[in-house]
Amino acid sequence: MIVAKDGSGDYKTVQEAVDQIPKNNEEQVKIYIKNGIYKEKLYIMQPYITLIGEDPEKTILTYDDSAHKIHEDGTEMGTFRSYSTFIGADHFIAENITFENSAGEGHKVGQALAIYIDGDRAIFKRCRFLGHQDTVFTGQKVGQEKKYNRQYFVDCTLVGDVDFIFGSSTAVFNKCQIISLDRKKNVNGYITAASTPKEQEYGYVFLDCTLTSDAAVDTVYLGRPWRPYGNVAFINCWMGSHIKTEGWHNWGKEENEGTARYYEYGTKGPGDNMEGRVQWSTKLEEEVAKKMTIEAILSGDDSWNPLS
């Protein structure tokens, strides 16, 4: 199926194309999206869907809902209804697409998700994720029945400021650009807010990524634990000077220091301050770091390998 705003394809909106796919779909369906800005609140509940854009900077899926916006039921929208794109099924793939929430800064509009991924075995290639607070949510909102979700991001760009990569999934970010926005504050933000379950071996793993920002030196944390056992690892990543020397924040709860699982190995760049990191984070041994491969992290019980 081909989506084109100008009417030259099969459908003018992505949602129209998605709605043609049965909910019990069992074969990978490809939807090609021509360049354009598609302002639509996209909702996908069918498995085995692939969205392929022409150009990641010109094929843009965007919306402007936010936590403080009033929903049609008269209540505030809240974090989890603020998404621009919702993925609620397994086996989703996206290539060459920008996922954006254009609502604005968090201190004005609250949380505003560019994408909400509640599906297993999702792959994102050469995609951009643009927002401010809570840009990318991977996993389930608190209180839902536990589900094991895995995602793989490669050659992607993720942009935001406060907790802009957050949730409970096991996710690998491979060779991605992680860009922290400048809020002009003493603390410009937190890259991650993992809520990894205690029994889950891996949370977020960043492999060979680049962390950059226009923010002042020593103003951005690598992360803070949204839930006590948050699990994040940065392996062989280049970090700019915006990364705070201590690296990690306990979310104002000293007890999180005894449970959160934060790791680094092979950090490069001006943000490499491993000796100054909080004592409750861990510098991985080389032998351990080498075992943290894409295949090992994401294999699960079904031996999934997004590289195959």
HSE (side-chain half, CA atoms, 13 Å) at 193: 17
Question: Of 118, 134, 161, 218, which residue is the catalytic one?
Answer: 134
Question: Of 120, 161, 163, 218, which residue is the catalytic one?
Answer: 163
Burial of residue 155 (number of CB atoms within 10 Å: 0-12, 13-18, 19+): middle
**Known catalytic membership, residue 163:** yes
Please spell the DSSP secondary structure of the chain, one letter per residue.
-EE-TTS-SSBSSHHHHHTTS-TT--S-EEEEE-SEEEE--EEE--SSEEEEES-TTTEEEEE---TTSBPTTSSB--GGG--SEEE-SSSEEEES-EEEE-S--HHHH----SEEE--SSEEEES-EEE-SSS-EEES--TTSPP---EEEEES-EEEESEEEEEES-EEEEES-EEEE---SSSS-EEEEEE---TT-S--EEEES-EEEESSPTT-EEEE--SSTT-EEEEES-EE-TTB-TT-B--TT-GGGGGT-EEEEES-BSTT--GGGS-TTSEE--HHHHHH--HHHHH-GGGT--TT-
Beta-bridged to residue 105, according to DSSP, are none
**Known catalytic membership, residue 214:** no
Beta-bridged to residue 81, according to DSSP, are none
Cα–Cα distance measured from residue 52 to residue 14, given in angstroms and rounded to the nearest whole number: 11
Among candidates 75, 89, 93, 83, which has minimal Cα distance to 115? Answer: 83
Residues classed as catalytic: 134, 163
